[in-house]
């Protein structure tokens, strides 16, 4: 069968990214231009600034991705682009660019779901992985426990009812003075702290048993900090960070274990920015061993936002016959499985 080569574009938040991916699993180039330094000044992503930076960088990033792969635009079989969910301005930059390239070169256009991209990062990292499997997608904007029935076929078992896991990491990090982005900083500082120093509540959601809630846990950390301040007690930042991280990891792992028990699948995957958390990776690897399931987790560069994962997802859409028209638009709150 002929190789299918896809140029993929990702601009849903604060990384401008482009990649060239062959047959959904072989990455020829993966260029990521991060805006983290700029947004750090404001303590979080400023959508207007993100849009402007995407506009400035996107052509250069695409050129680098093609050059790095040793390919021309005319060598591409399709252009895959994230069209949701995400920030509307940043999404529109990628979608407009992809439409322009697709029109100019006469190459098919495929709109890709961002979360589907995160899940498909696992296909790049583990060439032997095939559905069905359970995937826990944990990022700055999303926390979804997903049953991946087949390529492009997903059932959401549970989702967060309030904050996403990464959002909770970022908010707590800000409160304990670690700054943005909080996840990697909490991960690092936690290594010097005691995860059992403070028992923060393991939040329970009111809906399905697979749903998540992180806002109570975040408030418990704020209460702890305020009480300590009022009493003039010193706070150990590493202990707070490690104890909060342990609470998040406990909740994520227990949900994943319920799904492994209920669905009896022998494959489990992690995805999304928070999947690069060292404590989560270690605890999930242990849980999978207990359940006799193979554990999959992409390397950190494929966990946080990138375009290679969009190229992997676009490939399975491509061979499934999915094509987008020039009326493709940015859909900020696109749901998984929706088109």
Interaction of residue 167 with Zn ion, rule CB under 5 A = no
Q: Are 54 and 45 in contact (CB under 8 A)?
A: no
Q: What DSSP letter does each residue of 233-246 carry, written as one string? A: ----HHHHHHHHHH
| Residue 327 near residue 301, CB atoms below 8 Å | no
Characterize the bridge pairing of strands 26-34 and 15-22.
Answer: antiparallel
Whether residue 201 is preceded by a cis peptide bond, meaning omega within 30 degrees of 0, is no
Total residue length of the chain? 339
SS3 (DSSP) at 96 = helix
- Of 56-64, 139-147, 237-245, 283-291: span binding Zn ion (CB under 5 A): 139-147
Residue 205 gets which letter from DSSP?
-
Selection from 27, 29, 18, 40 nearest residue 184 by Cα: 40
By CB under 6 A, residue 238 contacts ligand KG4: no
Q: Is 139 in the site for Zn ion (CB under 5 A)?
A: yes
The two beta strands, 15-22 and 5-10, are antiparallel
Site for ligand KG4 in 172-201 (CB under 6 A): 181-184, 187
273 binds ligand KG4 per the rule CB under 6 A: yes
Q: Which position among 304, 311, 317, 331 is part of the footprint of ligand KG4 (CB under 6 A)? A: 304
DSSP 142: -
CB of 272 to Zn ion, least distance (A): 6
Of 290, 231, 215, 230, the C-alpha closest to 260 is 290
305 binds Zn ion (CB under 5 A): yes
Q: What is the x/- site pattern for ligand KG4, positions 118-157, by CB under 6 A?
A: ---------------------xxx----------------
Q: Which stretch binds ligand KG4 (CB under 6 A): 197-205, 234-242, 272-280, 315-323?
A: 272-280
Nearer to ligand KG4, 131 or 140 (CB): 140
Q: Which of residues 2-21 bind ligand KG4 (CB under 6 A)?
A: 13
The CA distance from 83 to 196, in Å, is: 42
Question: Of 94, 166, 193, 311, which lies in the binding site for ligand KG4, with binding defined by CB under 6 A?
Answer: 166
Q: Which is nearer to Zn ion, 139 or 243 (CB)?
A: 139
Q: Judged by CB under 5 A, does residue 122 bind Zn ion?
A: no
Binding site for ligand KG4 (CB under 6 A): 13, 139-141, 166, 169-170, 181-184, 187, 272-274, 276-277, 304-305
């Amino acid at each position: 069968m002929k190789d299918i080569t896809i140029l993929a574009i990702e601009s849903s938040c604060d990384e401008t990214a482009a990649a060239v991916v062959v047959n959904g699993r072989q990455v020829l180039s993966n260029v990521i231009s991060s805006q983290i330094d700029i947004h750090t000044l404001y303590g979080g992503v400023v959508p207007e600034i993100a849009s402007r930076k995407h506009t400035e960088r996107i052509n250069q990033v695409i050129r680098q991705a093609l050059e790095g792969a040793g390919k021309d635009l005319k060598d591409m079989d399709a252009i895959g682009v994230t069209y949701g969910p995400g920030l509307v301005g940043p999404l529109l930059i990628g979608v407009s660019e992809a439409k322009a390239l697709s029109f100019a070169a006469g190459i098919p256009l495929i709109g890709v779901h961002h979360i589907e991209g995160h899940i498909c990062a696992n296909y790049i990292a583990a060439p032997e992985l095939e559905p069905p499997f359970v995937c826990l997608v944990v990022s700055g904007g999303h926390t979804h426990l997903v049953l991946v029935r087949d390529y492009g076929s997903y059932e959401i078992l549970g989702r967060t009812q309030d904050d996403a896991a990464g959002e909770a990491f970022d908010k707590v990090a800000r409160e304990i003075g670690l700054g943005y982005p909080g996840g990697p900083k909490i991960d690092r500082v936690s290594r010097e702290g005691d995860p059992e120093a403070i028992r923060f509540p393991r939040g329970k959601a009111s809906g399905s048993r697979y749903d998540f809630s992180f806002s109570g846990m975040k408030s418990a950390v704020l209460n702890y900090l305020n009480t300590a301040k009022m009493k003039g007690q010193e706070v150990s930042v590493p202990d707070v960070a490690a104890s909060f991280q342990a609470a998040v990891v406990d909740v994520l792992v227990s949900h994943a274990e319920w799904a492994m028990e209920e669905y009896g699948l022998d494959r489990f995957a992690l995805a999304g920015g928070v999947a690069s958390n060292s404590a989560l990776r270690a605890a999930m690897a242990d849980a999978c061993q207990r359940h006799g399931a193979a554990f999959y987790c992409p390397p950190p560069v494929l966990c946080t936002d990138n375009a290679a994962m969009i190229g992997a997802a676009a490939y399975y859409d491509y061979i499934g016959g999915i094509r987008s028209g020039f009326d493709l638009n940015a859909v900020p709150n696109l749901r998984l499985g929706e088109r």
